[in-house]
């Protein structure tokens, strides 16, 4: 079994590069229209825009959950439009994803949920246990590893999901409205956690419609407006 | 290699977890499949024993070729030699009218006294033809009969044990019916597994979607379901075997008593170890196939 075999990434190729990307689910309407941008190693990028602006569609393309209608999407050296179905898992093992509704599995405890990400990568038992422990420690939940995730608070569940996304040591972390279901205090906590991931070299793209949250971090922000890229700049740092 | 082993371990764990999660439907499937395999197995045992009876009484299965009066002793011997070369014939005995008369009471249970009173022997000379062991079918007997009839000096050919052709035809019928029923039961087993795995698959759609997002390969996601089908089939096979053995032990005395008239050794036999293994392996294979069918029906996964 080939492990993550991909077109080797040229030395200075950005981790993510979109060139004139459009996506149309139905003829005549565009979820994304002529979007171009690049994201480099260790960058933290916010993706903002009203509901329906195309944030989720864009993130889905980055883990090959969707193909562009036209234009080029390159992720970690893969050309998403031309990716063969068999190669998709190899790309996804290098991309961590976090969703609004956590997507944890019932019938499995916290540890097993996180462990799943290593199971599908074929990481052997002893190593997997150690890595799961350290990922849970990183999000401060190692004491709860034998707990049923449903017994945890929303913020804790999202931290489990983040641990699961990070335990495979992805080069790219995608988060789609990760704080959409959380109250403000937890929102800040989770966002800080995600931001700290970028500080360790993983590129992070966070989709959110919460502008105040974005302003608090003062980082590069891509603004989508009805599928078009309406802005690509560092937002002013504002206090919340 | 280490990675493949780790994935294999994961697949086993996932299959076990899956079986536990749908234990009730898996148990029902196993019982239903076991009943199907039990029926198929019962047919197998019956057919095996019926065939055994034919083989055992086979050495009684002879053809008599009655010769015309013109055939003298030398010609009779020559004819016997020719008959012995017919395909499927084991041996041939030339019987003179005198020998026939001497055997008459033993063969028929009727006294030869009246014939002796008349003083003239009405019995023709004949060739007593035995069929080769292991190949004693009615078709074979018919082929040999036609060949014998083609010999010069043969007036008429009659088959020995009258009940044998009928019995063998019945055996053929049972064999055919058994095959047909076996096929139906195999299809039933397939459908049971396929729908059970289908349910398990639907119940775990969320899990599969998440696995796919984490980069699980198609194989990693599907193997647990194939294993679950295989395990259910194998369990059904073992259960069917145990039930068959139980029924066999219970039914054996009665069956043997009712068959005692056929042969001195009317021992009814169970599956040989190899056949027993084949039943379980067959169940496992059907389980695997059923699961594969069910997954193949889902093109998006
Ligand atoms: N699977 C889909 N099929 C059809 N239309 C879709 C699908 N996904 C999204 N859309 C449409 O694409 C547009 C962008 O949606 P989305 O990417 O979900 O935006 P956002 O995440 O910013 O709310 C919307 O108009 C939405 O209705
Ligand atoms: Mg969205």
Contacts of residue B245, Cβ cutoff 8 Å, sequence gap at least 6: B270
CA–centroid distance, A183 to ligand 1, in Å, is 25
Contact A232, A202 (CB under 8 A): no
Backbone φ and ψ of B58, nearest 5°: -60, -35
- Ordered DSSP codes for B13-61: HHHHHHHHHTHHHHHHHHHHHHHHHHHHHHHHHHHHHHHHHHHHHGGG-
Pairing between β-strand A44-48 and β-strand A220-225 as defined by DSSP bridges: parallel
The structural domains of chain B, with segments of one domain joined by +, span 2-56+165-297, 62-160
Contact B193, B33 (CB under 8 A): yes
| 3-class state of residue B141 by DSSP | helix
Helices within chain B (DSSP H only): 2-21, 23-57, 73-84, 97-108, 113-118, 138-149, 163-203, 205-213, 218-259, 273-296
pLDDT reported for residue B142: 77
Integer-rounded Cα Rg, in Å, for chain A is: 18
pLDDT reported for residue B301: 47
Largest CA-CA distance found in chain B, in angstroms, rounded: 103
Backbone φ and ψ of A222, nearest 5°: -100, 125
- Separation of alpha carbons A44 and A205, rounded Å: 6
* Torsion B56-B58-B59-B60 (CA) sign: positive
Burial grade of B152 (CB within 10 A; 0-12, 13-18, 19 or more): exposed
Average pLDDT value for chain B: 84
Chain B from 88 to 107: CB within 8 A of any A CB: none
pLDDT reported for residue A3: 46
Contacts of residue B243, Cβ cutoff 8 Å, sequence gap at least 6: B34, B38
Q: Does B63 score more than 60 pLDDT?
A: yes
| Structure-block tokens of residue B259 | 């068959």
Highest mean pLDDT among A31-45, B59-73, B260-274: A31-45
Question: How close A86 comes to chain B (CA, Å)?
Answer: 8
Nearest to A167 by CA among A192, A202, A208: A202
pLDDT band for position A77 (50/70/90)? very high
Q: What is the pTM of this model?
A: 0.76
Ligand 2 (ion): residues with CB under 5 Å are A 56
Q: Does B266 score more than 70 pLDDT?
A: no
Q: Helices A125-138 and A110-119 sit at what angle, rounded to 10 degrees?
A: 120
| CA dist list (Å): A83 to A35, A68, A87, A173, B217 | 20, 11, 6, 20, 14
- Separation of alpha carbons B50 and B55, rounded Å: 9
| Structure-block tokens of residue B54 | 């034919």
Q: Does B113 score more than 70 pLDDT?
A: no
Count how many Cα atoms sit within 13 Å of the Cα of residue B256 in the half-sphere of its side chain: 13
Q: Which of B213, B218, B222 to mutate to test the interface with A (most CBs of A within 10 A)?
A: B213
Q: Please report residues of B whose CB lies closer than 8 A to that of A105.
A: 206-207, 210
Backbone φ and ψ of A192, nearest 5°: -65, -40
Nearest to A45 by CA among A172, A165, A161: A172
Task: Identify the helix (H) or strand (E) that includes residue A70.
Answer: strand A70-75
pLDDT reported for residue B49: 82
Once rounded to an integer, what is the mean pLDDT over residues B110-114?
66
pLDDT band for position A12 (50/70/90)? low
| Ligand 1 shell residues, CB under 6 Å | A 25, 31, 49, 51-57
CA–centroid distance, A229 to ligand 2, in Å, is 15
Contact: A1, B220; criterion CB under 8 Å = no
pLDDT reported for residue B121: 77
| Structure-block tokens of residue A209 | 């419609």
pLDDT reported for residue A2: 42
- Separation of alpha carbons A54 and B221, rounded Å: 30
Once rounded to an integer, what is the mean pLDDT over residues A56-70?
96
pLDDT band for position B211 (50/70/90)? very high
Nearest to A8 by CA among A61, A82, A74: A74
Q: What angle do CA B112, B115, B121 make, to 5 degrees?
A: 110
Range B62-160 classified under CATH 3.30.70.3040: yes
CA–centroid distance, A91 to ligand 2, in Å, is 22
Q: Please report residues of B whose CB lies closer than 8 A to that of A103.
A: 206, 210, 213
- Separation of alpha carbons B59 and B249, rounded Å: 29
CA–centroid distance, A113 to ligand 2, in Å, is 24
pLDDT band for position A145 (50/70/90)? very high
Q: How confident is the model over B84-105, as pLDDT tens digits?
A: 888 888 888 888 888 888 877 7
Backbone φ and ψ of A237, nearest 5°: -75, 125
Contact A175/B at CB under 8 A? no
Interface confidence (ipTM) of the complex: 0.87
Tokens 């080029």 appear where?
A: A72
Once rounded to an integer, what is the mean pLDDT over residues A101-118?
93
Q: How confident is the model over B136-176, as pLDDT tens digits?
A: 666 777 788 888 888 888 888 887 656 666 777 777 887 88
| Structure-block tokens of residue B253 | 């005395």
| CA dist list (Å): A240 to A188, A223, B234 | 10, 20, 63
Contact B92, B129 (CB under 8 A): yes
Contacts of residue B177, Cβ cutoff 8 Å, sequence gap at least 6: B43
Task: Identify the helix (H) or strand (E) that includes residue A217.
Answer: helix A211-217
């Amino acid at each position: 079994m080939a492990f993550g075999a991909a077109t080797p990434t040229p030395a200075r190729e950005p981790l993510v590069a979109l060139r004139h990307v459009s996506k149309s689910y139905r003829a005549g309407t565009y979820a994304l229209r002529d979007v171009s941008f690049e994201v480099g190693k260790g960058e933290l990028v916010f993706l903002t825009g009203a509901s329906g602006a195309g944030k989720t569609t864009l993130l889905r393309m980055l883990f090959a959950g969707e193909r562009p209608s036209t234009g080029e999407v390159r992720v970690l050296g893969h050309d998403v439009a031309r990716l063969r179905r068999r190669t998709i898992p190899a790309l996804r093992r290098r991309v961590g994803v976090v969703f609004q509704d956590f997507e944890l599995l019932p019938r499995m405890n916290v540890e097993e949920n996180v462990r799943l990400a290593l199971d599908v990568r074929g990481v052997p038992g002893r190593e997997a246990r150690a890595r799961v422990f350290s990922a849970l420690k990183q999000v401060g939940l190692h004491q709860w590893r034998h707990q049923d995730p449903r017994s945890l608070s929303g913020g804790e569940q999202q931290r489990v999901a983040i641990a699961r996304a990070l335990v495979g040591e992805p080069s790219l972390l995608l988060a789609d409205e990760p704080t959409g279901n959380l109250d403000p205090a937890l929102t800040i906590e989770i966002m800080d956690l995600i931001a700290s991931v970028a500080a360790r070299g993983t590129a992070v793209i966070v989709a959110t419609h919460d502008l105040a949250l974005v302003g608090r971090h003062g980082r590069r922000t891509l603004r989508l407006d009805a599928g078009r890229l309406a802005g690509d700049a560092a937002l002013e740092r504002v206090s919340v | 290699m280490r990675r493949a082993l780790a994935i294999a371990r994961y697949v086993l764990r996932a299959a076990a977890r899956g079986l536990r999660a749908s234990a009730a439907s898996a148990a029902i499937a196993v019982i239903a499949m076991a009943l199907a395999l039990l029926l198929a197995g019962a047919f197998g045992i019956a057919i095996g024993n019926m065939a055994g009876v034919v083989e055992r009484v086979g050495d009684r299965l002879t053809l008599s070729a009655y010769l015309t009066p013109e055939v003298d002793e030398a010609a009779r011997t020559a004819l016997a030699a020719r008959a012995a070369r017919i395909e499927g014939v084991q041996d041939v005995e030339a019987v003179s009218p005198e020998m026939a008369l001497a055997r008459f009471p033993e063969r028929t249970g009727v006294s030869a006294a009246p014939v002796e009173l008349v003083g003239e022997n009405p019995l023709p000379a004949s060739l007593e033809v035995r069929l080769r062991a292991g190949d004693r079918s009615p078709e074979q007997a018919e082929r040999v009969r036609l060949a014998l009839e083609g010999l010069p000096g043969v007036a008429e050919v009659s088959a020995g044990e009258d009940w044998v052709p009928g019995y063998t035809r019945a055996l053929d019928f049972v064999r055919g019916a058994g095959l047909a029923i076996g096929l139906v039961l195999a299809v039933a087993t397939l459908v049971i597994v396929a729908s059970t795995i289908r349910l398990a698959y639907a119940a775990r759609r969320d899990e599969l979607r998440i696995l796919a997002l984490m980069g699980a390969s198609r194989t990693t996601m599907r193997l647990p379901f194939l294993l679950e089908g295989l395990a259910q089939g194998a369990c059904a096979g073992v259960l069917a075997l145990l039930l068959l053995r139980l029924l066999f032990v219970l039914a054996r005395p009665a069956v043997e008593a009712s068959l005692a008239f056929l042969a001195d050794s009317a021992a009814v036999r169970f599956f040989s170890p190899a056949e027993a293994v084949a039943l379980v392996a067959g169940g496992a294979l059907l389980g695997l196939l059923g699961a594969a069918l069910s997954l193949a029906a889902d093109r998006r996964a």
